[in-house]
Structure 1
Amino acid sequence: MSLKHPRHILIIGGGVFQVPAIKTAKSMGLKVVVTDYNPEAEGMLLADYPIEVSTRNINLTVNTAKQFHRACPLDGVLTVGTDASQTVAAVADALNLPGIPFEVAERATDKIKMRQVLKEKGVSVPDFRPIWTLEDCREAIKEMPLPLVIKPCDNMGARGVRKVERLDDLIPAFREAKEASISGKLILEEFMEGPELSLDALVFEDNIHITGVADRIIERDPYFVEVGHTLPSILPAEQQTQAVDVFKQAISALGIDIGAAKGDIKITPEGPKIVEIAARLSGGWMSAYTYPLATGVNLYKAAIQIALGEKPSDLTPKTSLFSAERSLLPPAGKILSIRGVEEARKIKGVKEIILMKEAGDMSEEPRSNMGKVGYVITVGKTREEAISINELARETLKIEIGAPNDLTWDIIRNNARKKFYIACKACTVCDGLECAGKVPGIGGIGTGSAFTENLTALARYQVNLRTIHEVKAPDTSVELFGHKLALPVLAAPITGMETNLAGGMDEREYADAILDGCLESGTIGMVGDGASPKKYLIGLEAIKKRGGLGIPVFKPREYNLDIIMRFKAAEDAGAVAVGVDIDAASFKTMAQKGQAVGPKTVSELRELKSHLKVPFILKGIMNVESALAAIEAGADAIVVSNHGGRVMDHMPGTAEVLPEIANAVGGRIKVLVDGGIREGIDILKMLALGADVVMIGRPVCIAAFGAGQEGVSYYLREKLNELKKAMILTGCGSIDQIDPSIIFRKKGDR
C-alpha cells in the first residue's frame, strides 16, 4: 500500500492580504510554501515552508521554486491581493504548472501595455498617453483637456495616483507618480466621471465566471483612496450588465484564459470604461470576505483548485446577503489607544475587524490605499442594514490620537522598523553590526568595519566632569553661513528610499519630514542626490517651498557641466549652501543609470566654485591633504566623512582623523563632521575634537520613517537636551567654550 503524499502549493506574497488564502490552502490539507520579502510577515509565520524572497524578484523566485520543486514537487502557484502575477506566471511556466503565459501577465500588470492591447481590441478605455518625462506631460496636455489623472504604470493600491485639475498641479503630481513607479514609466489619462465598480472573476475551461460586483467608494481628492465597498452593487441592472460585458471583453482581449481576474470599471456618461485589470483576485477584502460572506462561496478555495489544475467546486451562491467593508481612517497622529474592539466584534452582523496598526503606531493622512489603520466588515439582510451595522461598529471603536509630544524613541523605532521591513532593524543602538555588508541597504560596505569604526573611534574618547562653575543654561546656538542655528546639528543627506530602504517612504515624503523637522527644531536639513537624473529636483522643490532653508548635496558627476546645472537650480530654489559629496566618486549605481561619477581635481573644483554665489561644501574629507586641497579649491566648508562606511571598507572612524584635519584648517573654513554620532555627548566630543557643526544621518532617518516631521523634531529635541546636560556637566556655557580640554583618550589607546 503506497502512502499518499500531501500536495504543495506556492503562494506568492505573505502579507496580511494573502493570509486568508494561506489559511484556506491549509484547511484543504495542502502544504503551503510562501515567499515574501519580509520574514516576519503574518503569512510567512503561517506557512509550512516560508521562503524569504521579494514578490517582485522574478528570477530569484523562479530559481528558488525550481530548487524546492526538485526536492518536493509543487502542484500549483498563485497570488491574491498583490501585483505578483508576472512572478506567478514565470514560476508556472518554469515548472509546467497551470497558469497564464508570462506575456499575458505582463499585459495585465503594465497599465500602458494593458491599455494599448485593450484599445487595439476595441475594449473601452480612457484616452491616455504613455509618459516618461515632464515634457511628455506638457505635450500630452496640449491634446487632452483637464482634468487628467497621472499614475505609475506598474504599481498598485493607488500609489502615486493623483488628479491633475490645473496646470499648477502637474509638476507635484508628476513627481509623486514618478516616485511610486518601479520602472519610471507613467501614464496620463482622462479623468472619468461617474460611479466605480469592482469586479472579480474566476477563469477556467473557456468560462469567465463573475464572482462579485461591488460599489467602490473613492475619496480624498486629488488622490484616489478607496475607503470601502458595498456588495452587491446598487447600480441599475443594465449598467451592471454593461460593466460585466466590458470586463469579460477585457479579460479575453488580454488573454487571461485560466486563473482569476479583477477589474475596476468606471460607469461614465459614454458607458463603462476600464480603469484597470489584474490577473488575480482582488485585494481590499472583497474576494476574501465580502463576497464569501454575502454568497457563502469560498473564492480562495476555488482559485486554489484552478491553480492545481482542477475544476472549482460549486460556485453557485448559497445565500443572498449584503456586505460592507469600510476603512478605519482616524486623523493623522500617534495612536495612543484603540478601545472597544471586543465590544464592536460582539455586534450582530460584524464579521471581521482587521487592525493593521496598534497603539504607538502613526496614523497618517492617506494618499493611497496603503497604511490604513484597519477595516470593518459587516453583513446584513439588506444593503442599508449592512452599512448601518458597519457605522455602529466604527462608532464603537475608539481610536485615540495623540499629539507629537506623546512620542517616545521606542515608538519611533518600532514604527520605523515596520516601514523598513528588513532593510533596517532600527536597532537599539545603531552600530552597524546587524546590517554589515547590506549595500544596497543601510549598512556599511563589505565587513561593515568603516561604519562600526565611526562609533569605536568616538568611544575611545572620554569626557571630564567639571561641576564647579556658573553654567546653568548653556547657549547651544551656532552661526553657519549667516544663519543662526539653535543647535550645532544638521540632518545629513540621504536618498534611495526605494533602493536602500524598501520604499517605506518616498523621496518627497522623506525630504519634507527632514526639512520640516529640522526647521521646527531651529536647524537646517540636507537633501541628497541619486542615480535617477531628476531625483535631485525633489529635494530642491522641498527646499524652495521652505524659503530656501535647506542644503542640497550633489554627486560628483563626471562632467562639471552637469553639476553646474544643479548648482544653478539650487540657487534658484534659494538654498542656503550647496555641497558635493566627493566620497561618492565610485558609486556603481550612478554609472549603471548613465550618471557616471569620479574624483575631482583642484582645478575642477575651483571651476565649480566659480559658478556659485552661495557657500560651497565638500563632503568626504578624511585627511589633511584633502582638506588643504579643498581650501585651495575655494570651499567654504568641508565635511569630515567616510560616507557612513558605505563607499570603502576598512576606513578609520571620522573622530580618529578629525583633530588633525581641524588643526590643519585652522579656522579658515568651517569644519563639519558626521559618522557614529548617536547621543548628545557624541556631539560634544566632536565639537571638542575640532568640528564647528555635526551632521547626523541614520538616526534622523529612523526618526523620519518612524514619525515623519514629528519624529525628526522629537529626535533633535532629545539631542539638544542631551547636549545641554553634557555642557552643564563640563562647564561649557556656549559652543565656542567646548574645546579639547574637556576630553581625553582612554588609557591604552594611541
Structure 2
Amino acid sequence: MSTQPVNVATQKLPDMRYERHAGVPRQTDVSKALAHAAHPVLGNSSSEPVNVNEFEELARLALPNMYYDYYAGGAEDEHTLRENMQAFHRITIRPRVLVDVSQVDMSTTILGYPISAPILVAPTAAHKLAIPEGELATARAAAAAKTIMVLSYSSSCSIEEVASSCNAVRFFQLYIFKRRDISALLAQRAERHGYKAIVLTADTPRLGRREADIKNKMIYPPEKNLEGLISINIQCVDQGSKLETFANQMMDASLRWEDIRWLRSITSLPILIKGILTHEDATRAVEAGVDGIIVSNHGARQLDFSPAPVSVLEEVVDAVKGKVPVLLDGGVRRGTDVFKALALGAQAVLIGRPVLFGLAAKGEGGVRTVLEMLKNELETSMALAGCPCIKDITRSHVRTEHDRLPSML
C-alpha cells in the first residue's frame, strides 16, 4: 500500500467555546465576549457540583449545542444510552457489618501497572471541543489521579503531544482502517512514544446512526493523528454528518478475528479488545490471544437496543474464566457503580462522558474533581459494605435481577 502522505484538508469550525452567562443566549457577540470569564464564573459558583452527574448540566451550559449533543448523544432512540445507567440501578449491594474498615485501600493494578483506584479514563474523541488544551488537560488530570488514560485515535491532540504532556502510564485506542498501513503507523507511533497497551475497538464496522449529529450537521475537527496521512475532506452525499460519512468510508468492515494476528505482527504491546458484549465473543477473544477484554457498547453510540455492559458483565467474566482481565466501560456515574462492577468480576471501569463534562465545565480541574469524586464515593461504598480492600469485594456483595428471579418462581 502507498504510504505517501496527503495533506489534511482544513475545515472551518464554529468557535470552540461559547458560554451562557447571566441569561445571555449562546452564540451571540455578548456571549462570546463573556466566554473568557466563563471558567471563573463557574468556578466561583455558590452551587458547586457535589456529584459527577451535576457536571453534565454545567457542560450543557458551557458548550455549543452541536458539541454538547456530540458528547452526550447516543444512537437512534437512545434506549441503550438510558439503559447503560439504569441497569446499575437494578443491582443492589449486600453490605457486611462489624468489619474493620478504619483503613480502606482502593489501589490495584492493570496489566501490572499500579493505579490508585480501579477507575480509568476511557477513550473519547475531540477534547478540544470542550477546551482549547483538549487531551493535554485530561492527561494531566489522569496523571494527578494516578490512573491510566486511554487516548483515542481521534484525539484533537496528537499521540506525541499527549506523550510529552506529563509522565504517566497511557494506553492507545486503535481502529483498523481499510488502509492497514495507517493503522500500523498509529500503533507503532504509540509504542515508540511510551504507550503501554493497544485498545482495539472492534464494534465499529460502520458508525452507528447518531441522529443528533445528523440534525446538527456535525462538523468534526481535523483528525490530528491523521495529519499528513490521509485527506478527511469528505463530501456528504446524503443527510448524514460528515463524521458518519468519513467513518463509513475509512473503517474496515471486513475486519475478522483472524486479523488479531496481523495486529500482533506490527506491535509488541499488549492488546485489549473493546466492544465485547457476549460470552461467545469473549471466548473468541481469549482464543485469539488478546491480553484483556473491555465490556462496552461504545457508550450506546453504535447499536441501539444492545445490552448495557453491566447487564452482561458476569456472562463475559464467566466465559473468560480468569484467563485475561475484564474491564467495564459504560454508564458508570457513582462509586457504587464501580463497586457493583467489581463485585460482578470487573478488574476496573472506564469513565467517558463524565470526564468530558468535567473538562467542558471546569477544564483540567473539572476532570480531576470527577475522578476524585468517584474515588471518594468508592471508598465510602467499600467502607459501608465492609470491604477494606479491592480483593474483599466479591460476588456475594451484590444482588442482581437474575438472583431475584428464582425467589419469584
Considering the TM-score relative to the shorter chain, is it more than 0.5? yes
Match of 1:492 among 122, 134, 137: 122
Shift of 1:633: 2.1
CA offsets, 1:140-194, max 9 Å, x none?
xxxxxxxxxxxx784688x8xxxxxxxxxxxxxxxxxxxx9xxxxxxxxxxxxxx
**2:60 corresponds to:** 417
User: Quick one: which amino acid aligns to residue 505 of structure 1?
Assistant: I
Return the alpha-carbon distance in structure 2 between the equivalents of residues 605 and 590 of structure 1. Answer: 25
**1:513 corresponds to:** 137
**1:695 corresponds to:** 350
From the superposition, tell whether residues 553 and 464 of structure 1 become closer, same or farther in structure 2 (CA, over 3 Å): same
Return the alpha-carbon distance in structure 2 between the equivalents of residues 681 and 153 of structure 1. Answer: 43
From the superposition, tell whether residues 725 and 606 of structure 1 become closer, same or farther in structure 2 (CA, over 3 Å): same
Q: How does 1:450-465 map to 2 (within 5 A)?
A: 450-465=80-95
Return the alpha-carbon distance in structure 1 between the equivalents of residues 254 and 380 of structure 2. Answer: 41
**3-state DSSP class of the match of 2:336?**
helix
**2:186 corresponds to:** 566
Residues 492 and 695, structure 1, Cα contact 8 Å, conserved in 2: yes
CA offsets, 1:210-236, max 9 Å, x none?
xxxxxxxxxxxxxxxxxxxxxxxxxxx
**3-state DSSP class of the match of 1:598?**
coil
Match of 1:653 among 294, 304, 308: 308
**1:448 corresponds to:** 78
Residues 207 and 244, structure 2, Cα contact 8 Å, conserved in 1: yes
Return the alpha-carbon distance in structure 1 between the equivalents of residues 106 and 250 of structure 2. Answer: 40
Return the alpha-carbon distance in structure 1 between the equivalents of residues 267 and 333 of structure 2. Answer: 33
Match of 1:723 among 361, 378, 386: 378
Q: How does 1:322-721 map to 2 (within 5 A)?
A: 357=21, 371-373=35-37, 408-409=49-50, 412-423=55-66, 440=70, 442-496=72-126, 503-506=129-132, 509-530=133-154, 538-547=158-167, 549-587=169-207, 589=243, 592=246, 594-598=249-253, 600-721=255-376
**3-state DSSP class of the match of 2:61?**
helix
Which consecutive residues of structure 1, in runs of 5 or more, have no partner in the other structure?
1-131, 137-151, 160-179, 181-354, 359-367, 375-398, 426-437
From the superposition, tell whether residues 722 and 561 of structure 1 become closer, same or farther in structure 2 (CA, over 3 Å): same
- List structure 1 segments (4+ residues) > 4 angstroms apart after TM superposition: 152-157, 355-358, 399-404, 409-414, 746-750
**3-state DSSP class of the match of 1:617?**
strand
Return the alpha-carbon distance in structure 1 between the equivalents of residues 13 and 267 of structure 2. Answer: 40
From the superposition, tell whether residues 737 and 582 of structure 1 become closer, same or farther in structure 2 (CA, over 3 Å): same
Shift of 1:729: 1.3
CA offsets, 1:382-429, max 9 Å, x none?
xxxxxxxxxxxxxxxxx899799x95348844542222233577xxxx
User: Quick one: which amino acid aligns to residue 37 of structure 2?
Assistant: V
User: Quick one: which amino acid aligns to residue 572 of structure 1?
Assistant: R
From the superposition, tell whether residues 591 and 606 of structure 1 become closer, same or farther in structure 2 (CA, over 3 Å): farther
| Equivalences, count | 351
Shift of 1:372: 1.9
User: Quick one: which amino acid aligns to residue 251 of structure 2?
Assistant: A
Return the alpha-carbon distance in structure 2 between the equivalents of residues 466 and 555 of structure 1. Answer: 43
User: Quick one: which amino acid aligns to residue 131 of structure 2?
Assistant: M
Shift of 1:527: 1.8
**1:348 corresponds to:** none
From the superposition, tell whether residues 401 and 669 of structure 1 become closer, same or farther in structure 2 (CA, over 3 Å): closer
Return the alpha-carbon distance in structure 2 between the equivalents of residues 401 and 703 of structure 1. Answer: 11
From the superposition, tell whether residues 587 and 154 of structure 1 become closer, same or farther in structure 2 (CA, over 3 Å): closer
CA offsets, 1:612-653, max 9 Å, x none?
222211100011121122222221111000111110111111
TM-score (norm 1): 0.43
**3-state DSSP class of the match of 1:373?**
helix
Residues 543 and 549, structure 1, Cα contact 8 Å, conserved in 2: no
User: Quick one: which amino acid aligns to residue 454 of structure 1?
Assistant: N
Residues 137 and 363, structure 2, Cα contact 8 Å, conserved in 1: yes
Return the alpha-carbon distance in structure 1 between the equivalents of residues 348 and 160 of structure 2. Answer: 22
From the superposition, tell whether residues 627 and 369 of structure 1 become closer, same or farther in structure 2 (CA, over 3 Å): same
Residues 590 and 596, structure 1, Cα contact 8 Å, conserved in 2: no
Residues 640 and 673, structure 1, Cα contact 8 Å, conserved in 2: yes
Shift of 1:541: 2.1
Q: How does 1:303-318 map to 2 (within 5 A)?
A: none
**1:249 corresponds to:** none
Return the alpha-carbon distance in structure 2 between the equivalents of residues 572 and 616 of structure 1. Answer: 16
Residues 672 and 691, structure 1, Cα contact 8 Å, conserved in 2: yes
User: Quick one: which amino acid aligns to residue 495 of structure 1?
Assistant: A
Shift of 1:699: 1.3
Return the alpha-carbon distance in structure 1 between the equivalents of residues 63 and 14 of structure 2. Answer: 19
Moved more, 716-725 or 583-592: 583-592
User: Quick one: which amino acid aligns to residue 549 of structure 1?
Assistant: V
- Identify which of structures 1 and 2 has the higher relative contact order when contacts are C-alpha pairs closer than 8 Å and 6+ apart: 2
Return the alpha-carbon distance in structure 2 between the equivalents of residues 628 and 709 of structure 1. Answer: 39
Aligned sequence identity (%): 26
TM-score (norm 2): 0.76
Return the alpha-carbon distance in structure 2 between the equivalents of residues 582 and 744 of structure 1. Answer: 30
Residues 609 and 635, structure 1, Cα contact 8 Å, conserved in 2: no
Which consecutive residues of structure 2, in runs of 5 or more, have no partner in the other structure?
1-5, 23-31, 209-242
Residues 466 and 731, structure 1, Cα contact 8 Å, conserved in 2: yes
Return the alpha-carbon distance in structure 2 between the equivalents of residues 153 and 659 of structure 1. Answer: 44
